[in-house]
């Protein structure tokens, strides 16, 4: 019996080597496994198409990583991820959501922590947008879109939208009203997080006849037909619509621009984490970032993807650069349900 | 008895698969939905197991939600009545027509059904919206900028245009089943046309009116694309609200409760109206 447990010098050495290697086990595993299939939960349409064109095909395919897209609306995909959270192996590796939703997923304890050992390109991420649980994929500042034909003097700040000049001529996108509320909070309260404090401002806007659009696409015809003159939208949208022939310009509010950030994160129960990290890293490659800037008008989130030529000109931010302000995620998360309910009632009461 | 058993067995075997399909595809999901509606919502964990009536209570005690139900009901009733008033003459004319154009007429009624409600709602947006046809005519007459969208008028018009063919087709088949000689008899006995209509045609068509009415009422109560596109953010009806709670807010328990409230309201009203029609029918 004792013979059986008697440790030999060799076995002790083997054990010691094993113990010493344990901290590096994930890295070794990663080096071995960054291949196979990675499931990407994403929006459909143009975004999904551009992911394939700029990330999947040129950057991951050569590495032997095949990307399968699980396309759908953000709430549906988030619901699916939440429903699967108890499974040891989920069906999704990388989830692509707006930054506020990424914050919620992190709060629910569902996201894999990220660092430079997993995603080396994290070191190039602009500090404003960095989080320990997700990568910022693309961003776009919120601007005041206006019709240059009817608005001779460009608006300078959020307050202009509530002035007499634009009564009944302000357009609000119903699905991003909360971003308008945050812009109001930034200007009126000096803090974009004081969202509930600007209900009166929003109420004034609605009561004075601001138009609400249920689809983002309806904003451009609103400007074109003269139904509205101004409204808060993402800069990328203004670029997209101007490219499509709608007379529209962007003014950057002096108090700063709330900023749309589209995030990517790895779920804790991702079946292929190594490939998921490789995906995130590829998304932060300058070439991939430039591709999105060129086609969709969204800005790169990294410091080493300077734009050139025509794209640089189109996407240029004014001098001095406007202050870019990501949404105050914790405050937003805390009030969003109540705000949504309040907003519905406000609209209904007319 | 022993002789009949194989027959009963055959019948069971024949009904079995269909019953299973209904059970699996309708009853089970509904039971699951009913269970969900008793759960509690939590934004981070999405749905917490519970057994609480609070989702239902939230709906019935809040004037905002009951208001939305009331709006939906009003729109459904108004469009059903309009369908009936506008559809009956067309259905009657088609049913009694001997012309060789009759099939073309029927085809014209069926044709809109080939186009989805979303596409038709988009068509109405082009007619009623800013920069649309109505706006252009109004502008030409000296007015400045008019949009009829985002109003109960636009939604009612949209739903009416979608439901009218269903009403006409239902009524037409029922009127065709009414012997024309009955009307001739009424004529020959000296009844005036209105009298003939009230005392002969209408009572005989009542079951058809009931069926058609119920059909379009249910369609209107559950309309989604039309109120969403033509009503916009400021006009609330049940189906778009249900969808928003379910797919945008991810509040499945509350959405399930709304679904049941909508379903029960529709079923109750439908049952009540068919009872009413049956009673009237028997009385004649």
Span B193-234, pLDDT tens digits: 899 999 999 989 988 899 999 999 999 999 999 999 999 888
pLDDT digit string, tens, across residues A235-254: 999 999 999 999 999 999 99
Evaluate if residue A26 carries a pLDDT over 60.
no
Among B58, B150, B233, B246, which would you mutate to test the A interface (most chain A Cβ atoms within 10 Å of its Cβ)? B233
**Closest CA of chain B from A74, distance in Å:** 8
pLDDT for residue B6? 65
Mean residue pLDDT across chain A? 90
Beta carbons of B234 and A82 less than 8 Å apart: no
Interface confidence, given as ipTM, is 0.81
**Cβ of residue A225 closer than 8 Å to a chain B Cβ:** yes
Beta carbons of A104 and B248 less than 8 Å apart: no
Q: Which are the contacts of B188, defined by CB distance < 8 A and separation ≥ 6? A: none
| Domain boundaries along the sequence of chain A | 29-138+262-315, 140-259+325-349
Q: A349: closest CA among B67, B30, B70?
A: B67
Residues 193-222 of A with CB under 8 A from B: 212-214, 221-222
Distance CA B102, CA A241 (A): 49
* Tokens coding B204: 């005989």
Beta carbons of B228 and A108 less than 8 Å apart: no
Evaluate if residue B51 carries a pLDDT over 70.
yes
User: Which of A79, A224, A347 is nearest residue B233 as measured by Cβ atoms?
Assistant: A347
Mean pLDDT is lowest, of A22-31, A93-102, A238-247, B196-205, for A22-31
Evaluate if residue A135 carries a pLDDT over 70.
yes
Evaluate if residue A15 carries a pLDDT over 80.
no
Contacts 24+ apart (CB under 8 A), B83-90: B83/B160, B83/B163, B83/B164, B83/B166, B83/B167, B83/B212, B83/B213, B83/B216, B84/B167, B84/B209, B84/B212, B84/B213, B86/B160, B86/B164, B87/B164, B87/B167, B87/B168, B87/B171, B87/B212, B88/B171, B88/B205, B88/B209, B90/B168
What are chain B's domains? Answer: 52-283 (1.10.3720.10)
Do domains A29-138+262-315 and A140-259+325-349 share one topology? The answer is yes
* Tokens coding A218: 């309806």
Domain spanning A29-138+262-315, CATH architecture: 3-Layer(aba) Sandwich (3.40)
Distance CA B109, CA B166 (A): 9
Mean pLDDT is lowest, of A295-309, B6-20, B62-76, for B6-20
What percentage of residues in chain A have a pLDDT greater than 90? 84
Burial of A222 (0-12, 13-18, 19+ CB in 10 A): buried
- Report the pLDDT averaged over residues A133-145: 97
Neighboring chain A residues of B250 at a CB cutoff of 8 Å: 75, 78-79, 82
* Tokens coding A120: 């080396």
CATH class as words, domain A140-259+325-349: alpha beta
Neighboring chain B residues of A225 at a CB cutoff of 8 Å: 129-131, 135
pLDDT for residue A63? 93
pLDDT digit string, tens, across residues B78-104: 999 999 999 999 999 999 998 889 999
Beta carbons of B233 and A213 less than 8 Å apart: yes
**Cβ of residue A86 closer than 8 Å to a chain B Cβ:** no
Evaluate if residue B1 carries a pLDDT over 60.
no
**Cβ of residue B144 closer than 8 Å to a chain A Cβ:** no
**Closest CA of chain B from A8, distance in Å:** 51
User: Which of B67, B233, B249 is nearest residue A212 as measured by Cβ atoms?
Assistant: B233
User: Which of B43, B46, B252 is nearest residue A337 as measured by Cβ atoms?
Assistant: B43
Mean residue pLDDT across chain B? 90
Question: Which is more confident, A158 or B129?
Answer: A158
Residues 34-73 of B with CB under 8 A from A: 43-46, 64, 67-68
pLDDT for residue A13? 59
Beta carbons of A108 and B44 less than 8 Å apart: yes
Q: Which residue of chain A has the CA closest to B62?
A: A345
Beta-carbon contacts below 8 Å between A and B: 63
Q: Which residue of chain A has the CA closest to B131?
A: A225
pLDDT for residue B284? 52
When mean pLDDT is compared over A124-133, B24-33, B130-139, the highest value belongs to: A124-133
pLDDT digit string, tens, across residues A277-332: 999 999 999 999 999 999 999 999 999 999 999 999 999 999 989 999 999 999 99
Distance CA A266, CA A280 (A): 8
Confidence of residue A11 (pLDDT cuts 50, 70, 90): low
- For Cα atoms B48, A76, A132, give the angle at the middle one, nearest 5 degrees: 80
**Closest CA of chain B from A335, distance in Å:** 11
When mean pLDDT is compared over A6-20, A285-299, B116-130, B264-278, the highest value belongs to: A285-299
Q: Which are the contacts of B206, defined by CB distance < 8 A and separation ≥ 6? A: B277, B280, B281, B284
Confidence of residue A350 (pLDDT cuts 50, 70, 90): very low
Beta carbons of B233 and A214 less than 8 Å apart: yes
């Amino acid at each position: 019996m004792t013979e059986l447990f008697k440790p030999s010098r060799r076995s002790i050495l083997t054990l010691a080597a094993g113990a010493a290697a344990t901290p590096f086990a994930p890295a070794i595993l990663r080096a071995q496994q960054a291949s196979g299939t990675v499931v990407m939960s994403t929006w459909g349409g143009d975004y999904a198409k551009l992911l394939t064109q700029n990330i999947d095909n040129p950057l991951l395919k050569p590495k032997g990583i095949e990307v399968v897209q699980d396309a759908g609306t953000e709430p549906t995909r988030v619901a699916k991820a939440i429903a699967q959270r108890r499974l040891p192996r989920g069906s999704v590796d990388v989830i692509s959501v707006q930054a506020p939703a990424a914050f919620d997923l992190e709060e629910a304890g569902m996201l894999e922590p990220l660092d430079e050992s997993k995603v080396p390109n994290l070191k190039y991420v602009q500090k404003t947008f960095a989080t320990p649980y997700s990568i910022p994929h693309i961003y776009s500042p919120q601007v005041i879109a206006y019709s240059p034909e009817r608005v001779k003097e460009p608006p300078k700040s959020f307050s202009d939208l509530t002035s007499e000049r634009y009564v009944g001529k302000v357009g609000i996108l119903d699905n991003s009203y909360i971003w308008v509320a945050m812009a109001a909070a930034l200007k009126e309260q000096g803090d974009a997080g004081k969202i509930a404090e600007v209900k009166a401002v929003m109420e004034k806007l609605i009561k004075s006849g601001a138009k609400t659009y249920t689809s983002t696409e309806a904003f451009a015809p609103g400007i074109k037909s003269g139904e509205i003159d101004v409204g808060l939208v993402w800069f990328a949208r203004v670029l997209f619509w101007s490219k499509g022939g709608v007379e529209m310009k962007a003014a950057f509010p002096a108090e700063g621009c709330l900023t749309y950030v589209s995030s990517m994160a790895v779920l804790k129960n991702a079946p292929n984490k190594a490939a998921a990290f490789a995906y995130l890293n590829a998304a932060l490659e300058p070439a991939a970032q430039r591709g999105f800037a060129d086609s969709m008008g969204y800005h790169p989130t990294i410091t080493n993807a300077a734009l050139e030529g025509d794209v640089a000109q189109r996407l240029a931010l004014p001098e001095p650069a406007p202050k870019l302000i990501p949404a105050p995620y914790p405050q937003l998360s805390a009030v969003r349900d109540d705000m949504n309910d309040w907003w519905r009632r406000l609209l209904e009461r007319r | 008895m022993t002789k009949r058993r194989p027959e009963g067995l055959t019948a069971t075997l024949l009904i079995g698969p269909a019953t299973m399909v209904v059970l699996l595809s309708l009853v089970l999901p509904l039971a699951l939905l009913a269970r969900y509606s008793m759960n509690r919502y939590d934004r981070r964990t999405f749905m917490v197991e519970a057994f609480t009536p609070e989702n239902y209570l939230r709906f019935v005690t809040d004037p905002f939600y009951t208001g939305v139900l009331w709006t939906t009901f009003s729109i459904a009733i108004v469009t059903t009545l309009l369908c009936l008033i506008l559809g009956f003459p067309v259905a009657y004319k088609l049913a009694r027509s001997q012309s060789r154009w009759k099939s073309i007429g029927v085809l014209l009624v069926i044709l809109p059904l080939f186009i989805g409600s979303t596409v038709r709602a988009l068509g109405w947006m082009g007619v009623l919206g800013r920069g649309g046809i109505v706006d252009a005519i109004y502008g030409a007459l000296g007015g400045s900028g008019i949009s009829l969208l985002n109003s109960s008028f636009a939604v009612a018009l949209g739903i009416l245009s979608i439901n009218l063919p269903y009403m006409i087709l239902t009524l037409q088949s029922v009127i065709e089943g009414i012997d024309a000689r009955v009307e001739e008899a009424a004529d020959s006995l000296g009844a005036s046309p209105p009298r003939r209509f009230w005392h002969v045609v209408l009572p005989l068509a009542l079951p058809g009116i009931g069926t058609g009415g119920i059909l379009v009422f249910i369609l209107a109560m559950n309309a989604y694309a039309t109120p969403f596109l033509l009503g916009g953010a400021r006009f609330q009806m049940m189906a778009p609200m249900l969808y928003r709670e379910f797919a945008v807010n991810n509040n499945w328990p509350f959405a399930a409760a709304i679904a049941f409230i909508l379903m029960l309201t529709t079923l109750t009203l439908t049952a009540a109206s068919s009872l009413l029609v049956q009673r009237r029918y028997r009385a004649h």
